Amino acid sequence: MDNGKDGNPLQQLRSLLASGESNEDLLLQFTDLFPALIYVYDAEKKKLRYINKRITDLLGYEWEDVSKWNNDLSELVFSEDRPLVEAELKKYYGLEGHSSHSYNCRLLHKGGDFRYFKTVGTVLRRTEGGSAESMLFLAQDITEQVKGEQEKLAAYALMDETEKMLRMGMWNLDLNSDKMEWSDGMYDLMGYTREEMPVVTHSFYLGHLLENERELVKEKLEESFETGNELRADYSILRKDGSRLFVNSLGKPVRDESGKVISVNGINRDISSQYLQNLEYKANKDMLKQTEQMLRYGVFIWDLQADIAQWTEGLFNIFEMEGVTRQAIINTSWYQSHVLEEDLPRFREALDKAMTDHGTWECDYSIITAKGNLKSVHSIGNIIKTSHGEPVRMVGITRDITSFKKTENELNRNLRELNRSNMELEEFAYAASHDMQEPLRKITTFGSRLKNKYSSLLNEEGRMYIDRMQIASENMRTLIDNLLELSRVSRTIQIFMPVQLDKIVQDSLSDMEITIDETKAEIIIHPLPAIEGIPSQLRQMFTNLISNALKFRKPEIRPFIEISSMRLGKKAKEEHYLLPDRNYIQIDIADNGIGFDQEYENRIFQIFQRLHGKSEYAGSGIGLAICKRIAERHQGLISAKGEEGKGAIFSIILPENQ
């Protein structure tokens, strides 16, 4: 409530109206000159007794309109504000002396809208008992002021929303006091509330920066003070909760009338997401660069419509382009000018076919680099089409295969040399073995004749020498036969055909029927599949393996042999380094014989290698070497697992189809 004072227009008007000394008409005309609504309210009848003509200027009503309201003040009040006005009017009944009271409300305009008014009132006359008889009110139009405040609040709200949405905050730094003013967004960025930190200094803010970044910000701020230029800096800040943000800070100096910088207005924007993305992008770019260098490749994107290609670092390195040479416009004509002339027809043919078929372009060719060096490269690219099927880009890689080609050529050359050497060795072994048969036959023949005709003339020692000579000759014959058989595995050109392994094994058992009967061996054969192979060689391989199982049996124990098979899965193929797109069969031949020490697994497949003396077990030491050669001839492999005294398992892995 307000106390009445002589300088108050409302109190002066109240005194004038209450005195009754002046002409009433003159007073009413005087109130019409006021730039505000003036009305008298009958406190006892609760009716409007008088209102000045400003009601027409401010609200558009004529006196006739007012008379229709039956002097009801509430008709002038906006419906939503009527409870408020009724409550405020009750307060005037309690006013003492010349005190006044004010309130704000909305009054209806005749045009249907409303306007804001500030109403100040006081008791005009009192009854003999001292209660209010009439009241005087002065209502001033404050619509523009209220709208200005509303727009200001809306602007602040919009600014707050903008700061939250853009993760930014505004600040002002006063250079004289070192004090900073923060917006709500700035408080959010720092993790504080305005209530807990009503006063913020620049020193406090700098305390949230890393030491090296703090010095950087100080230097840039001092530079901004001295030059008047904008402050720009990217750095990290430590929030109240200990988390770290990366911000972009932009500040603009404010000068006084003399041109001196007195403060800085600025914005901090949270760029943590972009900063981390940039770090990730840089890391990925560096990793791509290192990968391209390590694997010697580069990526290209070829705009087919504009005929311009973009390259990564790796391709520039392959073409040995440095400095200004990298500024060349890379198009079809430029690229083909660097392709070796003799490879151009093949290059163009592959490219034209990819363009026609909208398929994959792949080609090996040679290039001449910017430094004049010759390199072999392999390119592969996929065409990207629009939704209408129109080719617009080709994306692919080009790899430097110069060293690979060099190694490949050296391997092929070494392989040819190795094959030639092996062929010569096999031919020599075949020829030597074949040529040794005739003198061996003569030794055997003459030895037999010597024994038959002159045995009686020799003493016991002489006859022993002849027997040992004949045994040695027979061993030599067996060895020569085995050598010839080993040579034939690689020398003979035979056709692969479908082979039922069940029948092959049965044929092998028929060849050893007598030995099987003599040893009373038990042989179990599980169903075996059909594969593509050379029947005679497979039969020899099974014969050698089963014969070994019978030969190296335990004394006084009945031999047991089990033959089974299975198809190899993905993991087994990987373990044996086999082709993943081919089907392989593993055949196992297990026995209960004397076994062997596993450390000799590789040795037993070498030619002439024996783990036991000839006196213990007969043989030339070539049988398993022949099995190994047959398995390899069928693009397969053979291995063995054993334990002394506990038998052995020989495993042959062969492809189903050659």
Residues 419 and 293 in one domain: no
Does residue 114 sit within a domain?
yes
- 631 and 509 together in one domain: yes
Give the mean pLDDT of 127-133.
87
pLDDT of residue 305: 86
Dump strand ranges (E) for 193-230. Answer: 200-201
User: Which distant-in-sequence residues (6+ apart) come within 8 Å of 510 by Cβ?
Assistant: none
Domain assignment of residue 146, yes or no = no
**pTM for the full predicted model:** 0.41
Q: Of 129-133, 467-471, 608-612, where does the model show the most confidence?
A: 129-133
Helix (H, G, I), strand (E, B) or coil at 560: strand
Q: Which pLDDT score is estimated for 280?
A: 72
CATH assignment of the domain containing 456: 1.10.287
3-state secondary structure of 438: helix
CATH code, domain carrying 510:
3.30.565.10
- How far apart are the C-alpha atoms of 453 and 450, rounded to whole Å? 5
Q: Report pLDDT digits (tens) over 249-286.
A: 999 999 888 888 889 999 999 988 887 777 677 777 77
As given in the structure block, the two tokens for residue 579 are: 């082709």
392 found inside a domain: yes
Closest CA to 584 of 595, 574, 594: 574
User: Based on the structure, what is the number of domains in the chain?
Assistant: 5
**Closest to 596 in 3D by CA, of 545, 649, 556:** 649
Higher pLDDT, 2 or 168: 168
Instruction: Retrieve residue 171's tokens.
Output: 């600040």
**Judgement on whether residues 161 and 101 belong to the same structural domain of the protein:** no
Higher pLDDT among residues 20 and 398, named by residue: 398
Q: Are 186 and 270 in contact (CB under 8 A)?
A: no
β-strand partners of 588: 564, 651
**Would you say residue 620 lies in a domain?**
yes
Angstrom distance (rounded) from CA 154 to CA 306: 51
Of 456-465, 588-597, 616-625, 629-638, where does mean pLDDT reach its minimum? 616-625
User: 548 with 641, same domain?
Assistant: yes
94 φ/ψ angles, rounded to the nearest 5 degrees: -95, 0
The Cα–Cα gap between 231 and 222 comes to: 9
Q: pLDDT (tens digit, 9 = 90+) per residue, 540-568? A: 899 989 988 998 888 888 999 999 999 99
In the structure encoding, which two tokens stand for residue 389, read together?
């099927």
**Domain final residue, candidates 219, 242, 270:** 270
Question: By the 8 A CB rule, do 497 and 535 touch?
Answer: yes
Domain with 62, as residue range(s), is 9-141
Final residue of a structural domain among 343, 378, 400: 400
**pLDDT confidence of residue 530:** 94
Examine the domain organization and report whether 498 and 644 are in the same domain: yes
Q: Are residues 179 and 256 in the same domain?
A: yes
The answer to the question of residue 4 being in a domain is no
pLDDT of residue 379: 93
Backbone angles phi, psi at 593, to 5 degrees: -80, -155
pLDDT band at 4 (very low <50, low <70, confident <90, very high): very low
Mean pLDDT of the chain: 84
Whether the pLDDT of residue 9 is over 80: the answer is: no
Greatest C-alpha distance within the chain: 189
pLDDT tens by residue, 293-307 = 777 888 999 988 888
Residue 148 pLDDT > 90 = no
pLDDT in tens, 374-401: 999 999 999 888 877 788 889 998 999 9
Q: Are residues 130 and 247 in the same domain?
A: no
Quick one: 511 and 651 in the same domain?
yes
Pair 319, 265 in one domain: no
| Token pair 């392959």 in the structure block, residue | 318
Kindly report, residue by residue over 475-522, the tens digit of the pLDDT: 777 767 766 666 666 655 678 899 999 999 999 998 888 889 889 999
Do 264 and 332 have their domain in common? Answer: no
According to DSSP, residue 291 is labeled: H
pLDDT above 70 coverage of the chain, percent: 88
Give CA–CA dist 131/42, Å, rounded.
12
> Is 166 found in the same domain as 64?
no
Domain end position, chosen among 270, 294, 315: 270
The whole-number pLDDT of residue 559 equals 93
Is 149 contained in some domain?
no
522 and 502 share one domain: yes
CB neighbours of residue 463 within 10 Å: 16
Instruction: Confirm whether 148 is domain-assigned.
Output: no
> Is 481 within the bounds of a domain?
yes
Determine which helix (DSSP H) or strand (DSSP E) holds 589, and give its type and residue range.
strand 584-591
Give the C-alpha separation, 373 to 317, whole Å. 12
pLDDT of residue 27: 59
As a whole number of angstroms, the distance between CA 394 and CA 332 comes to 12
pLDDT > 60? residue 7: no
The β-bridge relationship of strands 132-141 and 114-126 is antiparallel
* Beta bridge partner(s), residue 584: 655
Share of the chain above pLDDT 90, in %: 29
Domain CATH code at residue 21: 3.30.450.20
